[in-house]
Amino acid sequence: GAVVSQHPSRVICKSGTSVKIECRSLDFQATTMFWYRQFPKQSLMLMATSNEGSKATYEQGVEKDKFLINHASLTLSTLTVTSAHPEDSSFYICSASNRAGKGYNEQFFGPGTRLTVL
Amino acid sequence: AQSVTQLGSHVSVSEGALVLLRCNYSSSVPPYLFWYVQYPNQGLQLLLKYTSAATLVKGINGFEAEFKKSETSFHLTKPSAHMSDAAEYFCAVSVGGGADGLTFGKGTHLIIQP
């Protein structure tokens, strides 16, 4: 099956620093990647959708200047949390899909990245 | 906009008993529906999906779900619970054929009593 990886799996940083999270599709070309955020004991909330070579589309309430998303290749998308603060501490999960096929294009989820901002 | 409601934030069943996790959706167009399972500090694993084919969908680990348009429901069942089924379960909806992100329910924590 399709595999999506994320790196790092855990990161701890100081308040005010920036953190980059990578999402890779290992065995397929991901034309679309999605970034979700999950606060403790809560559901996943879609943050943004990125199509390869295009600017990401952010959901309402998500600051695009704070959460920088780059999808420069068909196998890699990055999420950079700029000037991180403790309230940004969360579990960040990416998913990837290949829209080349007909019908529904399944999303494959990465294992997630636990961000802790001190 | 679409939405998902999962009834019961916690469900407790005895090992060997029937598992029933409820999910109702709201969508203005025919939806795609999913059930995912999440173990602590891990990502999501797809249990099953409905993508407009058969209304009774069979998934992994003995789970199945039935799409009922008239009831706008997609409840998840398993005939006999196993201790390893203890986890968080999320129902999700998509209307864009994969082009849009998923809208998730709040999740149901399944507890298995020995």
Distance CA B44, CA B57 (A): 19
Cβ contacts (< 8 Å) between B104 and chain A: which residues? 43-45
Q: What pLDDT band is residue B96 in, cutting at 50, 70 and 90?
A: confident
The token pair at B57 is: 């969908």
* CB-CB neighbors (< 8 A) of A97 in chain B: 98
Place of tokens 């025919």: B30
Chain centroid offset of residue B56 CA:
13
Q: Which of B108, B84, B113 is nearest to B36 (CA)?
A: B108
Q: Among B41, B98, B100, whose Cβ lies nearest the Cβ of A106?
A: B98
Residues whose CB is less than 8 angstroms from the CB of residue B86 and which lie 6 or more positions away in sequence, other chains included: B110, B111, B112
What is the arithmetic mean of pLDDT over B42-71? 92
Average pLDDT for B47-67: 93
Q: Which residue has the tokens 């998500």?
A: A62
| 8 Å CB contact between B104 and B2 | no
- Summarize the confidence of residues A13-19 as an average pLDDT: 97
Could you tell me if B59 lies within 8 Å of chain A, comparing CB atoms?
Answer: no
| Residue carrying the six token digits 């969908």 | B57
Question: Hey, is the C-beta of A107 within 8 angstroms of any chain B C-beta?
Answer: yes
Q: How many other CB atoms are found less than 10 A from the CB of residue A2?
A: 15
Q: In this predicted model, what pLDDT tens digit does every residue of A29-82 receive, in sequence order? A: 888 999 999 988 888 999 999 988 888 999 999 999 999 999 888 999 999 999
Residue ranges in B13-99 assigned as alpha helix (H): none
Among B50, B102, B108, B109, which would you mutate to test the A interface (most chain A Cβ atoms within 10 Å of its Cβ)?
B102
Which residues in chain B are closer than 8 Å to A24, comparing Cβ atoms?
Answer: none
Residue numbers of B between 74 and 103 with CB closer than 8 Å to A: 90, 94, 97-103
Token pair for residue A67?
A: 């959460």
Query: Do A77 and A30 touch, CB atoms closer than 8 A?
Result: yes
Amino acid B99: pLDDT: 72
User: Beta strands B44-50 and B32-38: pairing type?
Assistant: antiparallel
- How many CB atoms lie under 10 A from the CB of residue A69? 24
Judged by CB atoms closer than 8 Å, whether chains meet at A105 and B98 is answered as yes
Q: How confident is the model at residue B10 (pLDDT cuts 50, 70, 90)?
A: very high
CB contact at 8 A, A92 and A25 = no
The reply to whether residue B43 touches residue A111, judged by beta carbons under 8 angstroms, is yes
Listed in sequence order, the residues at least 6 apart from B58 whose beta carbon sits closer than 8 Å to its beta carbon are B48, B64
Q: Note the pLDDT tens digit of each residue in B66-91.
A: 999 999 999 999 999 999 999 999 99
